[in-house]
Amino acid sequence: MPEEEPPAPGQAGDGQGPGGAIELIELQEEMERSFLEYSMSVIVSRALPDVRDGLKPVHRRILYSMYEQNLRPDRPHAKCAKAVGEVMGNYHPHGDAAIYDALARMAQDFSLRHPLIDGHGNFGGRGPEEGPAAMRYTECRLAPIAMEMLAGIDEETIDFVPNYDATTVEPTVLPARFPNLLVNGSQGIAVGMATNIPPHNLGEVIDAVVYVLEHPDATPDDLLRFVQGPDFPTGALILGRQGILDAARTGRGSIKLRAVAEIEERRGTSRIVVTDIPFQTSVEVIEQKIGELVEAGTLEGIADTQNDSHGGQPRLVIQLKRDANPNVVLNNLFKHTPLQTNFPVNMVALVDGVPRTLNLAQLVSHYVDHQIEVVTRRSRFRLDKAERRAHIVEGLLRAIDMLDAVIAAIRAAEDRPAARTALCSEPFSFSEEQAEHILDMTLARLTRLGRSNLEEELTELRATIAELQAILADDARLRGVIGEELRAIRDRYADPRRTRIVHDPGDLGVEDLVADDPLVITMTRAGYVKAVPASSFRTQARGGRGVQGAKLKDEDLVTQVVHTSALSHLLLFSNRGRVYRLRGHEVPVKDRSARGTPVVNLLPLEPGERIQAVISTRELDPERYLLFCTKDGQVKKTALAEYDKSRREGFIAIALRDGDELVRVVPTSGEDDLLLVSRSGMAIRFNEAEVRPMGRDAAGVRGMRLKPGDDVVSCDVVRPEADLLVVTDAGYGKRTKVEHFPRQGRGGQGVRAIRLTARRGEVVGALMAALDQEVLVVSSAGVVIRTAVRQVAAQGRDATGVRLMSLDDDQRVAAVALVVQEDED
């Protein structure tokens, strides 16, 4: 085949178009390069402030453009639309909305600690829906303090560069005669980085700058002697100093802000009045969040909210219900609403066009370096100007001294250039600048008064020149000038702190969020638990019948009642020897007549596991003990403090042998007598001192020796005012004085507590009962009888008891328990 001729230059296939304008490149390389250029443009030209003046390009262009338009504090306001148009047309070729948003923010006294724009009209509020009015309605001019940002800009203190279309020039940075970056703060999101610098107090920051002027090696801790911390325009409270220290030392930190709120009592009800709110939130947002949480049930005790804000001063009134605890409600508001927020400090700024994270000392040092350059360049400008003027004045004075000769030379000249040449020649030898000014002299300057004025001006000029030369020659004197000028600005504009720094109470715990109300916790034999406010039960005299309790199924009954409070600890012991821990407030509060919540919904119980005992304690006192008794007759005494663990999944309370179960857990004082009763009717009484304290996972020691087939059904602490009530499964029972049970050593078989026969059955329950109490007996068929303890016959240990409940042949007594007295005696 004939070889193909290569395409001619400029034709398709050579990688170039006409004239070689097309270049083939890798797509990946182009994407990387383009994204890098884009990200750097966002970082440098849009999102991050310069460390020297604390401004982003749009803010700098707005201030400079308004300065150029003479929109100064002593001039009338002008339409914001005019200011925005000039900025957009000359310096910032982007959308007018972005420019106006930046301008409006610089006029908001709740966004900047010292606003740079003096606005006239509606520039927006703190709420998300309160944006500024359209720019055609609002007016603006520079605020007085903004003139300090631009002071000396006409004295060659900073560099200028061509604007975007090279029709004019714009400043690369403003002179910034006060440390604007720290005073007003800055926020911005760039590509891959962000900045969030909080505002500070002008007086404090200037004091820190003056200190760095005198001590260039100052550390952040040195400056914290002057700068207490951020000073937000909206006031509020800063909790603790740790976030301030982190931010000052590293440039990063989290500052906890909290609203100023007071609890007021009015007409028998309480209300919370919120005044200062955290930075960058609003009363409307807080009120909306409260409404959502109240509707969801997260916040309780709030009846109504009312926004009483006016004149730019926030005020939110939160009306509470009559039974609400104001402190608990307030703590919940702090936890769940923007009444308490965190301000994440991330002090990133551009240093020589490069983004850097800076600590407090570095921020101040870079600003000081900028001021040294500004004042140095200003001094050189003023020195050059003074020297040039002194040179002119010297020439004018010399001209007056030889006035006749000067006039003759001028009159002899044909025109102005000839006259200037004559003055620059012998015998005058004036410079061209001097000659021009001589030619411009008026007749009034030729008088004696004119000479004296020139001599005074020359004296002042020489003094100025000497001072400027001294400043430029002495770094300490230069720094002193900067310090004096900063102090003057401080005296003119500084005001007291608005944000107070208070002690940080720490993270809000359950103690802060829950009212410690008294509760009655009840547990039923079927495993239902509930909490009822103690106020639900009326006070009755001793011996009263109480009030209606839970409506239970026929075969169920309340086995345990614990008077406790919402913040107390509940230790729940299961038949498997495990203990679970809850706080009182974690048990669902139910109506007095409600059945309750299955305990398996609150605790991770295993199949067949049931709660045998509930112990309430406010503090896990190491001087108190718990005594455990198992079905096989084992007993163990352990200090209450051993169970100071918060593992919700439970942990071992007593080590059980195979087939053994926990029967009872009773709190003891360390000196009590214990009474164990077995199913066969035997009982043993011994002092707990015979059981030494053991650890949680110990199995205990023998408390009662049992015959084969027998097991322990009850264990109780002996009380002098109570009798031992024994009930059998055949429906018989009796009560016996505790004096009939002699104290023995532990580990024996005990003595007879009731004589059992085939007709009497086996012991199903035994408990200590006072005469003024009542007992419930439940049959296997669900029949329940209620009997006063004093109506049960008192008999000796060897007696067989009397009938308490009539049963059919196929029925037995299933359980026995004291009537729950849920009233407060």
Q: Is 723 inside any structural domain?
A: yes
Residue 755 has pLDDT above 50, yes or no: yes
CA-based nearest residue to 620, from 670, 571, 654 = 571
Whether pLDDT at 772 is above 70 = yes
- Per-residue pLDDT for 449 more than 90? no
326 backbone dihedrals φ, ψ, rounded to 5°: -55, -40
Name the band, by pLDDT with cuts 50, 70 and 90, for residue 677. Answer: very high
Residue 229's closest CA among 8, 237, 57? 237
Which one of 137, 528, 625, 643 is the catalytic residue? 137
Are the C-beta atoms of 205 and 248 separated by less than 8 Å?
Answer: no
Statement to judge: residues 88 and 13 lie in one domain = no
Global confidence as pTM:
0.69
Contacts of 697 (CB under 8 A, 6+ apart): 652, 654, 655
CATH code at 162? 3.90.199.10
The predicted model gives 55-68 an average pLDDT of 95
Residue 122, pLDDT score: 93
Region of poorest pLDDT, from 110-114, 149-153, 361-365, 786-790: 786-790
Q: What is the pLDDT, as a whole number, of residue 648?
A: 64
Taking residues 781-787, report their average pLDDT. 79
Which has the higher per-residue pLDDT, 514 or 296? 296
Are 620 and 766 contained in the same domain? Answer: yes
Question: What DSSP letter does each residue of 336-372 carry, written as one string?
Answer: HSTTEEEEEEE-EEEETTEEEE--HHHHHHHHHHHHH
Average pLDDT over all residues of the chain: 86
Residue % of the chain over a pLDDT of 70: 89
* Annotation says 625 is catalytic: no
Q: Which residues contact 723 (CB under 8 A, 6 or more apart)?
A: 735, 736, 737, 738, 768, 769, 770, 771, 789, 794
Number of domains in the chain: 4
The answer on 534 and 678 residing in a single domain is yes
Q: Which residues contact 743 (CB under 8 A, 6 or more apart)?
A: 673, 685, 686, 687
The pLDDT of 701-706, averaged and rounded, is 92
Q: Is residue 207 part of a domain?
A: no
Token readout for 365 is 């040092």
Asked if 63 and 29 sit in the same domain, the reply is no
Classify residue 773 by its DSSP letter.
-
Q: Give residue 777's pLDDT.
A: 83
pLDDT at 732: 92
Q: How far apart are CA 56 and CA 67, in angstroms?
A: 17
Note whether residue 202 is domain-resident: no
Do 705 and 798 lie in one domain? The reply is yes
DSSP single-letter state for residue 630: E
Distance CA 273, CA 305 (A): 10
User: pLDDT at position 469, please?
Assistant: 94
In a domain, 425, yes or no: no
In this prediction, residue 478 carries a pLDDT of 95
Domain boundary among 116, 142, 176: 176
Q: Is the pLDDT of residue 137 over 90?
A: yes
Q: CATH number of the domain that 740 lies in?
A: 2.120.10.90
CATH of the domain at 272: 3.30.1360.40
172 and 281 inside one domain: no
Q: Are residues 146 and 19 in the same domain?
A: no
Q: What is the pLDDT of residue 216?
A: 93
In a domain, 231, yes or no: no
Can you count the helices (H) and strands (E) in the chain? 18, 40
Q: Is residue 25 part of a domain?
A: yes
Read off the pLDDT of each residue in 581-591 and give the average, rounded to a whole number: 81
Q: Which of 119-123, 488-492, 500-504 has the weakest average pLDDT? A: 500-504
pLDDT at position 646 is 64
Question: Minimal CA–CA distance to 435: which of 420, 446, 445, 450?
Answer: 420
How much is the pLDDT for 511?
61
Asked whether residue 240 is assigned to any structural domain, the reply reads no
Same-domain pairing of 530 and 633? yes
Kindly indicate the confidence band of residue 1, based on its pLDDT and cuts at 50, 70 and 90: very low
- 165: in domain: yes
Q: Are 21 and 105 members of one domain?
A: no
Is 727 a residue whose pLDDT tops 80? Answer: yes
Any idea which of 237-241, 433-437, 599-603, 732-736 has the lowest mean pLDDT? 599-603
Calpha distance 224→360 (Å, rounded): 9
Give the residue numbers spanning the domain of 323: 260-338
pLDDT confidence bin for 541, thresholds 50/70/90: very low
Chosen domain end from 124, 158, 176: 176
Query: Does one domain contain both 665 and 553?
Result: yes
Are 31 and 149 found together in one domain? no
- The answer to whether 289 and 277 have CB atoms below 8 angstroms apart is no
Average pLDDT over residues 687-709: 89
pLDDT in tens, 164-181: 999 999 999 999 999 999
**Among candidate residues 176, 198, 221, the one where a domain is terminated:** 176
Do 606 and 754 fall into the same domain? yes
